[in-house]
Every structure is written in C-alpha cells, then in structure tokens.
Structure 1
Amino acid sequence: MKSSQTDSLHISSAVTTTLLQTCLVNVSDLSDKPKEKTCRLLLDSGSQRSYITSSIANYLNLPTIENVDLSIFTFGTKSPQYIKSRVDNFIIKTRIGVKPSIYANVVPHITNSVQAPVFNNSVKLLQDSRLNKLILADDGSYGDKIDILIGNDYYHTFISNEKLCISDNLFLVSSDFGWVWSGRLNETNTLDQLSVLTYFQSAGIYDSKLHKPDLPLKTDDVKRLWDLESIGIVDSPKYSRDEEAIKQFNKTIQYKGNRYYFKWPWAEYPPNLPNNLGLAYGRLSNLLKRLDNLTIKSYDKVIQEQLQNGVIEIVKNASFSLSHPVHYLPHHCVYNRDKPNKLRIVYDASAKTIGNQSLNECLYKGPLMLEDLTALLIKFREHAIGIIADVEKAFLQLGLQEPDKDVTRFLWLKNINDSVNKENILTLRFCRVPFGVISSPFLLNATIKYHLMKSNNSILNQIADDIYVDNIITGAKSVLEAQNLYNTSKLAFNDLSMNLREWNSNSKDFLSRIPDTFCTDIEAVKVLGLIWNTRDDKLLLKYDISQTDLDSVYTKRSILKVIASVYDPCGYAVPIVLPAKLFFQKLWKQKILWDTKINSDLLNEWKQIISKFSYLKNISIDRYFLKSVDNTRASEKMRHELHCFTDASTEAYAACIYLRSSWGTRNIVTFIIGKSRLVPIKEQVNLQIPKLELLGALIGNRLLQYVNKNLRLSIKAQVLWTDSQIVLSWYHSNKLLLPFVSRRINEIKQNKTLILRYIPGQYNPADIGTRSDRIDHYDRWLKGPDFLLDNSENWFSMPNNCVYQVETQTSSVGEGLSNENTNNKSTLVENESNINNLDMTSTTELDKEPISDSDSDLEMILKVQAQYFPEETKGIVSNFARSLGLYKDVNDIEM
C-alpha cells in the first residue's frame, strides 16, 4: 500500500535472494453470471489481513460488505498510518475445484513489483527431475504486479504441509494453486534481474493486536438474543412451510423391523440439487492436508464402525447415472470439550457451489423447537424428583428410504495411508438420518412424539411432552413413580431401536434402583443450557466467558458476544444483563462500527458494567418449586396462583412471574420467569411512560398465559400487578380509546380469568428489570415481594387520591408506534376520587367512574367548550382539532 513512508524492503543480490510465494489465480464476483479475471496473488503470513487492489475490485464490480477504518503498521515503523477502506467479497478459483469466498480490504496499491522467478537454462535446479512433474503456481507469464495479498486470515486455507526441499534453504510448497517457491537462493546469476520484496504488515481497527477481518456481524447472535427475549411474550409465527413439513412426515413415515424410515421433507421435488462431486473431492483433499496421522486414524475408525453398524454403506457403482438426485456432503471433525478424546464427524449440508443450492436449501426445516425448551425448564421444576436421560446416537437410529439415500453421499479413502487420488476414493452414503441436515432435528423429535403418543399411555404421553431433540427432561412425585417411568420408557424406546442412557436425578434412592450401566452419578450436569446441581437440587446459569475475555472486550462485536454468552431463557439474570444491553444500544445510537475500538470513556463505562457479571455466579434457583415443603400430601393440596408484576421506564419495560402456593396459613413464593425488553431507539422520543407501562402490562399478560399453558399445576388465579394508575384507568374505561391503547387493552381483556391489581412502585419487583441502576437489588427480582407471603387481606389497595386520565380517539391515528403522536398536549385535571374498588378488577367487573368534587367547575368548562368549539364537542374531527391532536378525557372535556 502506498504511503509517504517506505512500506517495503527491496533486496537485489547476486549472492542471496529470497523468493516470495506468488501465484496466478482466476478471481470472480459472486453473481449468477460471474465476471472473471486472472490476477497475481501474494501469499503473506506476515499480514494480518487480506487485500485486493481497487482496480481489480472495480473491474469485477465486487459487492462492498462494510466500510472500515484501518490502522496500518508497516515494516520499520512504530506509528500506524490510518486509512479508510471498504471490505469486498469475491471468489478465488483453485486447481482442486474449490472456490472459497474471500473478504478483503480494498486499497489503491498493495506493494511494488515482485518479479516471478525466471531461471536461466544453465541453472542446476532445472536438472532436478521432480520439477518436470510439478505444476508451478506462478510461471512468470503475468508480470511483476501484485493484485491480491492473502494474509494470515486465509493463508492456511490454501497452503498445505507438503513441501519439497530443492536445495539448501530453497523449497517448493504445495498450495491449492500449484507449487510455490519459498526460501533463499545462494547461487550467482540464478535469476535474471530479480527484485525480491520482503514484506511485513500489521493491520487492525485502531489496534495492533491480532484481529479478524472486519466482516459484518452474522445475524445468529442477534437473532438468538431476540428469540430468547421473545419467548412467552410474542406469538410463534405459523408458517405454511412447517405445516407442509408435518404433512410430508405423516405421509412418508414407515415402520419396519423396530425402526422408522423417512423421506426428506423436500420443498419441491425433484430438487434443483447439483452433483457436487468436485466440491466434495476438494474439501476432502484440503481436510486431509490439515489432519495428522493420529486424527486420520480416529476419523477412519468412526467411519468403519458406522459401516459395521449399518449406519452408512458403500456405493458400489458410484459413477452410474441415476434418475433421482445425487449429492455429496463435505465433512470435517470436531472434538467435544467435555470428551476431548472423542472425535465426531460433522457433515456440511449447507455446502454449495456457485449458482447452485445446498441440500439444506432444498428441504423444509420443520417446526422450530426453541419455545418448547423454555416450557420444558418450567415443567421440570414441578416435579419433586427431577429425572433426565439421553437417547444414545438418536439421529442415527432413523432410517432413510432408498431414493433419498443418494443425496447423503460422501467421500473417504480406501487406504488412509495413501494420498487422495481417484483410485483411492471410496464413495459412501447414509442409510440413516445424519446430523447436520436442517431437517434432522425435526424428524427426530416428530418421530419420538409420534411413537410415544400413539400408545395412549399416560407416562409415555408425559415423556412425549418432556423431550427436547435427544434429551428427556422430566420427573415424578415419588421414587415408585420414577421407577415405573424408567421401566415404561426403556421398553418404548427399545421399540424405536433407541437406547436411553445417562439417567440422572436428585433422588439417590431412585438411581440406586437403575443398573449402573444406564445411569451416571455426576452432580453437575447440563440441562437445556443450564447447570443442574443434583446434590443440592439447584439450577445455575452456564457462563463460559473468562476474565481474560472480559478484560479484552473493546468493540461492539465483542461486547455483543459477551451479552449473548449469557444463556438465560427464563430470565433469572435480567437485572444483571440489562445494563449491558442498554450499553450496547448506546453504541448503536452513536453509530459505532462493529470492529472499531470504543473510546476510553465508553471503555470505563463498559468495565463498570461487566464487573457486575460476577453476580451471575451467585444465581442459584431451587429446581423444585415446592422444595421447602417436605410433606408430599401437603403439596398435593396446595392452592396455586400466578402473580405477574410489570413496570416500565424510559429505558425498558419488564414483567416477572411468581408462583404463590398456599397451604393453610403458610405461603410459598417462587420465581418462574421474567422478561425485559428495551425501548426501541426510534420510539424513545415518541413513547412516554404511560404507554410503556401499557406495553409492560401487555407482555405480562402474554407471559401469564404462556406459563399457565405449560404448567401442569392447577392454577386458581392469575393476578397482574402494575403501579400505573393510568393503565388501570384505561383498563376500566368505556370510552373510545386511541388505537395504540385500545388494541392492547382489548388483548389484555381477552384473558377472562385475569385479575388486575395496583402495587406502589417502591414495592414492585419488575422495577428492577427496567432500570440499569437497580442491578445491586437483583436478589429482589428472584425473591419476589414479601407481601405475597402475607394473607391477601393485607395486600395493597388503590390510594384514595389518584390522578389519571383516559386517552380517547378524536382522529384517525395509525397503529404503528412510529406513526402515532404520543406527546401529552394537555395538563392533567386532578380529581379527588374515591377509587377504593379499583385495586382489584377483572374483565367481568367494572368499577364506577370517578366522581369529581368540583362538578360545577367541570360543567362550566363543558359549556365554554360547547360555545366556542361546537364541532369538536360533538365529536366532529375538524382540521383545528386534528392539528392540535385534541381528545376527550373521562369527563368529555377536550384536551
């Protein structure tokens, strides 16, 4: 890259010359009809980033992903040079058929000339017979210009470990582009007028540390965060695609010999699926270059075991053309962190070639299971004895019907001690449903539910509702009931050719009655993303970010990573994580780029926030709702109520639900679930506190119905608590309300069993989930208000002196939040009102309208308005009324 400083060091010597790794490659854009150009590429492991010249990027019309600010540290300099650069995306074609997608920074100029080695005929090197068999990556035909620099971010994608020693300190290194020269020449006149560049560069986003390319954030983290925040308060969308997946499942399922067989749920048939043999071959070749001999042996062992067990089979006539689709799955291996010696093969059903679809894109995914996960955690806490188990290799027990096996082909070696070549390639295909295909989780869960529920057995019906993919999370009232559940479920899963293993429980008595081969005595086990301490019967949050990671966080991207790392579907840690989310929203407001380092003031603020994350280690929830009740009979006779508290601030609105269980004079209060939503940036000006309070009440009502639907307990009352007197007045009003208010009030009133009550703000636990300065009181969020432990006669009532208003519709106003003007254009009329009966209301009762102590004043105001604003008082919407945003209050006074 050009600058006023010397960016490179040139060496011309007849004695010692260093060769750089250059290649000739074909580069193209990502369009359906790509434009292609031959370029010269420099492989440089000393550069942290990859670059492409603006002339090539503009010629190919490459798509720009993001604009970034770079700090460039060049050779021999201590201070960085700051430049602005865009990140473009393009494809590089390799000789092995793979076309990797590259993200690179666009710069006007990369470096000065780097000549290709052109050898004299007299050179001894040419007498080496090995060179005649090799394809060189750079034959010298292009010239000395460098168009692309591949840095250490992609360097090892193209370079393999294979190299040839040509002479002392001179090597040929194998790459996906051919063989590249690397090293030193020590002979006189070996090269004709060769100018060689030694080039080192460090690049970062105002930071000299090792840094990944500044790519746009993948949506997975944000989407996952949003999905978890929405559970229970946003209706699950009903997709016709899900319905079609279920329809195909029911139509194609077959049961033969203790196993179910399926066809894939195709979005259309035949699918537009290519025979991607070249891609699979290239991926296998690259894979084996990276693996050591020990890993290859472990890899082969897994494949041989699956062959022996009938999970996969050899395709005998792989070259034959077939009438049905044929597709290949690239694969790689991973190691489980908890089982570091166990290798698992992962199949990439999302792999595709340019302009073609992947297998995953041709299939229906099937209904999502995320919402069920939270419901399972809630139901899991109902049982005195908690029980978990795992289905061993569950996916590999589902059979594939014959035509669909051929879209799960993959390649391996006949002889792992030989290299990758056509004669040594073994073609295999799956006989069972492989993990990694988008439909696999749906097929597994649907099959198990289908099998269990057709038996009409109460225990198996319970198991069907308590399973998530291949994990059973259930429970029982007694040891005898638990043992019966074990015996019944084992037999049922045997009929599926599935083995239930790794049984665990908080009841040691129950575990003692199970064969040791089927159970585990681990005290801290994973349960749906949480940690279950079986000895203390407590649920803990799983939090993997180390202190080192926290100390190094300084960009918007890495801050989001920390926030998303707190997996908390039930909202145990809402008050702790809320300040971090608000800080992240602040970064959005300031339009800080994903990989731009935040300034010192923001960094200090973030460090204060993140220091509170230590509270996460203190969160410990009783797994069993009624753990403090020793008497089983007492727990069966208890009266159960759901109490939801809601609140709002200018930052967020929140709701939290507690289970109140009563037996005689004794009351127990247990936290169930809580949610907090940030006020959207674009609505922070428009939405005032009353409407935010209404949104809090709305999500509280939805959350109540969600919990009530998923609990097996008999709930005798649903109580919604709010400290907003205005929300209460809207709820009671028989006036025509503004659309925003009316629609939300009407939804709340649809819950016919709901009881609405008033709570003073200082006693409202939901307040802690709406403000960033309440984090030190997070224990109140989990504990709940003390007054719920008291008899209901002593609970709060609406104060006698209450100020409230009702907004009524006087003009046509859009429903969207951003379209509605919520500015208060009036002064509240204060009324001394007797509203003692407003403390507890349901949709089946309406309290009396407030009676003013100054009726004469109100009558006079009405007369004056009727005289000077006759149209408006009659309900006619004039331009004058529309411009002022007038509406009538509860006393019919224009406001």
Structure 2
Amino acid sequence: MAPEDTCYQRIFWREQPTHPLRILKLNTVTYGTASAPYQATRCLNLLAEEESPDFPIAARILKEDCYMDDILSGADTIEEAIEYQRQLKELLGRGCFPIHKWCSNSVEFLEHIPSEDREKHLTLQEYGANEAIKVLGLLWDPTHDMFLIAHQHRPVLAQIERQLWKTNAGWDDIVEEQFQRTCFTMQEALPQLNLIKVPRCITFPDAIGYEIHGFADASTVAYGACIYLRSMFTDGSARLRLISSKSKVAPLHELTIPRMELCAAQLLTRLLDKVIPATQMTFQEVVLWSDNTIVLAWMKKPLDRLQVFVRNRIAEIQKSTNGYKWCDVAYPYVVLSLLRYDQNFSEGTKVTIGSRTLLAATRSPVAGSANHRTVRQQQVSKVFH
C-alpha cells in the first residue's frame, strides 16, 4: 500500500495475552475487509487493461474467464494453449501474481508445465473417477472431461429444517413417522448423485447448426429450469448437451400448481438471460417448453386481464423471451427427466416431443472436447488457478 494510506489499516497486536497491546500498520492489502473482493477484482481488471497491448489474449481471458482467483479458459489447439499459458504467466507476473495449479484435459499441454506448478488431483473411488479436481463447487475429471456432482449434506439439512419449522415442532418433539421416512429416503438417495456425470464439452466439430431448448417444471415442493444445446448434423440426427440448470424450493406460503409452474417459467427466462450471452454462439432457434397449459395461456392474454402476481411475471417473461418460441410438452415425464438429468436421457436416447426429435441415438461422443464459449470446435481446455 502507499505509505500515506497505511494509517487506515491499523490493528491491535500482541504475541501473548500477558503482553501489552501494540498498534501496527499493515503495509499490504489485507483480504478479509469489506472492500477486499472489489479490490482483488479491480486490480486484475486494471492489470488486464494496462497490459493488453502486450498480452491481448491473456487480457481477454482475465476479463472474461476469471472468477475471484480461479481462471477457466480454453484453446483450439495445443499450440494456442501453450501461447495462452505463456501470456497469462507473463501478464500476471507483471502484477506480482505468480500463477500455479495448472490443469488440462490435454496430457501434451501439461508436459510443458513444471510438475510443481500443476494442480494436485483427488482420488475419488465413489465417483468412478481415478483423478479429479475442484472447479467452482464442482468436480472435474480431466481424463474423461466430465463434471461430477460433489453432493453436500448442508442443502439437505436445510430442507429438513425448513419442513420441521413449518410443522412448529419443538426441540424435544418426536417427528411424525411419515417425516422420518422422508428423511431416510433423502439420505439413501444422496449417493445416487455420485452417478451423475455431465460432459464439459457441449459442441461437436461436425455440427451444422445449433438450437437452444429450455425446460421449466414445478411441483408442490420445488420448481426448476434447465437449458440444453441441440446440435444438428447433416444426416438429420441431433445431440443434446446440458448447459445449465437451476432449481428453487417452493415459498413458505403455498402456491397453486399453475403459479408454481409460472415461477419455473420465470426462472427459465432469467437463466436464459445469463446463458445465451455467455455462450457467444449463434442459434437457429430458441425453443422453451412447459407442460402447463394454463401458464402458456397466460402468456397469450393481455396483461391488464391478469392478476398482479401473474401479470408481473408474465410481463417479465414476454419481455425477455420476445422472439423465442414457447411450446407445450404433451409428455410431462420427459421434462421431469431432463430437469433431473436422468441418465437414461444423457446419451443416445431418442426423445420426441410432438413432431420434433430432440435427441437421436445415431451419434457417438467425439474424442477431443470443445469449450462451450464458441461455435467452433475447441479441442483443448485448461483450468487455471
């Protein structure tokens, strides 16, 4: 820090409880203050702006592919990946930020990285993965280029506490037998999350076009939305890849099923607003699916004929999805399975809704993965820390 600013970072200090208190001035920026997250991000952005003439690619990566102190980016070839790594290392070096914990799904790329600068992999037998690393709350198996679900007990406990609170149960009260069975069922189902594997690559090198398909669904206890990329090929077949999903628990005040479905459609709309710009891709069509005909009918009504709760959400949906197509799903179980990322639908299953075949079983996964940021095939992915 500048010497004239150190007076604003004073702390009390003593080596032992019996020692007198000393007042110290911190000479470096300390993480833990309210402004620390902003300072860290602003510092990286400023560094990228100042050094962009010398390191244009690394500057773009810092601005677009950085989250706090983690950088996730990709390249089309090994040569490009090596150049990106060199630029990032030199750019961050000018700001006194040594970069390490490199990881990639390319063994050839890692050969150019000293072993002490590579990320240490985790051994996860229960996931069926020999090696994995942590990536922003997920687990990534770079060998097979798959995301794994690192389930946590905290969300489950929060849901249990929520249900107990609704029943006004006391600390020493014995919960109902039905509630106990629900808790045991949830506990037994948790290990099933280890079986879910989501491909990081969402594009294919020989695809001739792409579509976005979003699904919204709800129940009495929760609602959710998911977005898939549909890749189409010259032989008429197509493949689906999960891009993003989000779910929320139902509000404490009970809503009717149509209103819950409306909340799901609103959630899908907001998710689209974030996903489509992030992909930086051109789509031939964006199709949104719901299995609730009441919600679809609300979207066609004049806003002044709707109640306030419905009108506000329909107005947001119509504004954000203008130009997109909303369709009715005749088979609700399809949406539920897609929201759950059912393994039966993850690879090679034919899913037909109406006259549209969303996923054909004639294709096989392509070796060499692609990053989802661009239409063109990206064969090398790196994870920087």
Greater helix content = 2
1:764 to 334, 344, 349: 334
Distance change in 2, residues 1:400/1:540 (3 Å):
farther
**Is structure 2 residue 209 aligned with structure 1 residue 639?**
yes
Shift of 1:698: 1.7
1:622 to 178, 181, 199: 199
Aligned counterparts, 1:533-544, within 5 A: 533-543=141-151
Distance 2:108 2:243 in 1: 28
Distance 1:470 1:707 in 2: 22
> What does the per-residue CA deviation read over 1:634-685, in whole Å, with 9 as the maximum and x for residues that have no partner?
3xx5422211111223333221111112232332211122222333232x2x
1:723 to 264, 272, 291: 291
2:227 to 640, 647, 657: 657
Distance change in 2, residues 1:542/1:729 (3 Å):
closer
Q: Provide the residue aligned with 2:260 in structure 1.
A: 692
Residues 6 and 27 of structure 2 are in contact (CA less than 8 Å); yes or no, is this contact kept in structure 1? no
Q: Provide the residue aligned with 1:530 in structure 2.
A: 138
State, as a whole percentage, how many aligned pairs show the same letter. 26
Shift of 1:499: 0.7
Q: Provide the residue aligned with 1:466 in structure 2.
A: 65
2:49 to 447, 453, 457: 453
Distance change in 2, residues 1:784/1:656 (3 Å):
farther
Distance change in 2, residues 1:786/1:584 (3 Å):
farther
2:85 to 483, 486, 495: 486
Aligned counterparts, 1:116-155, within 5 A: none
Shift of 1:723: 1.5
Of structures 1 and 2, the larger Rg is shown by 1
Residues 690 and 726 of structure 1 are in contact (CA less than 8 Å); yes or no, is this contact kept in structure 2? yes
Shift of 1:476: 1.5
Distance 2:226 2:349 in 1: 11
SS state at 2:284 partner? strand
Distance change in 2, residues 1:486/1:681 (3 Å):
same
Aligned counterparts, 1:385-534, within 5 A: 399=1, 401-413=3-15, 420-422=18-20, 428-454=24-50, 455=52, 457-520=56-119, 522=121, 523-534=131-142
Distance change in 2, residues 1:543/1:749 (3 Å):
closer
Distance 1:730 1:621 in 2: 34
Q: Which amino acid aligns with 2:156?
A: I
Q: Which amino acid aligns with 1:526?
A: K
Distance change in 2, residues 1:538/1:794 (3 Å):
closer
Distance change in 2, residues 1:717/1:450 (3 Å):
farther
Q: Provide the residue aligned with 1:753 in structure 2.
A: 323
Distance change in 2, residues 1:671/1:471 (3 Å):
same
Residues 723 and 764 of structure 1 are in contact (CA less than 8 Å); yes or no, is this contact kept in structure 2? no
Distance 1:435 1:681 in 2: 37
Shift of 1:516: 3.4
Distance 1:679 1:532 in 2: 30
Distance change in 2, residues 1:653/1:470 (3 Å):
closer
Higher relative contact order (CA 8 A, sep 6+): 2
Q: Provide the residue aligned with 2:156 in structure 1.
A: 563
Distance 1:781 1:475 in 2: 27
Distance 2:63 2:344 in 1: 36
Shift of 1:511: 0.9
Residues 350 and 357 of structure 2 are in contact (CA less than 8 Å); yes or no, is this contact kept in structure 1? no
> What residue ranges of structure 1 are gaps of 5+ in the alignment?
1-398, 546-560, 565-579, 770-774, 797-895
Distance 1:793 1:544 in 2: 40
Shift of 1:491: 1.2
Distance 1:596 1:670 in 2: 48
> What does the per-residue CA deviation read over 1:226-259, in whole Å, with 9 as the maximum and x for residues that have no partner?
xxxxxxxxxxxxxxxxxxxxxxxxxxxxxxxxxx
Shift of 1:621: 1.5
Q: Provide the residue aligned with 1:779 in structure 2.
A: 343
Distance change in 2, residues 1:675/1:783 (3 Å):
farther
Distance 2:36 2:150 in 1: 26
Distance 2:142 2:219 in 1: 39
Residues 639 and 661 of structure 1 are in contact (CA less than 8 Å); yes or no, is this contact kept in structure 2? yes
Distance 2:32 2:345 in 1: 39
Residues 670 and 784 of structure 1 are in contact (CA less than 8 Å); yes or no, is this contact kept in structure 2? no
> What residue ranges of structure 2 are gaps of 5+ in the alignment?
122-130, 359-385
**Is structure 2 residue 238 aligned with structure 1 residue 667?**
yes
Q: Provide the residue aligned with 1:740 in structure 2.
A: 309
Q: Provide the residue aligned with 2:370 in structure 1.
A: none
Shift of 1:728: 2.2
Give the RMSD, CA atoms, in angstroms.
3.1
Distance change in 2, residues 1:585/1:492 (3 Å):
same
Distance 2:233 2:3 in 1: 56
**Is structure 2 residue 187 aligned with structure 1 residue 610?**
yes
Q: Which amino acid aligns with 1:499?
A: P
Shift of 1:527: 1.0
Shift of 1:428: 3.7
- Structure 1 stretches of 4+ with a deviation exceeding 6 A read none
Distance 1:404 1:754 in 2: 54
> What does the per-residue CA deviation read over 1:489-541, in whole Å, with 9 as the maximum and x for residues that have no partner?
11111110111112111111111122334334633211112222222222122
SS state at 2:100 partner? strand
> What does the per-residue CA deviation read over 1:378-401, in whole Å, with 9 as the maximum and x for residues that have no partner?
xxxxxxxxxxxxxxxxxxxxx355
Q: Which amino acid aligns with 2:163?
A: K
TM-score (norm 1): 0.35
Distance 1:474 1:700 in 2: 26
Aligned residues: 342
Shift of 1:717: 2.2
Q: Which amino acid aligns with 2:329?
A: I
Q: Which amino acid aligns with 2:74?
A: G
Residues 65 and 72 of structure 2 are in contact (CA less than 8 Å); yes or no, is this contact kept in structure 1? yes
Residues 261 and 292 of structure 2 are in contact (CA less than 8 Å); yes or no, is this contact kept in structure 1? yes
SS state at 1:760 partner? coil
Distance 1:781 1:674 in 2: 15
Shift of 1:699: 1.5
Q: Provide the residue aligned with 1:302 in structure 2.
A: none
SS state at 1:681 partner? coil
Distance 1:596 1:649 in 2: 31
Distance 1:605 1:698 in 2: 29
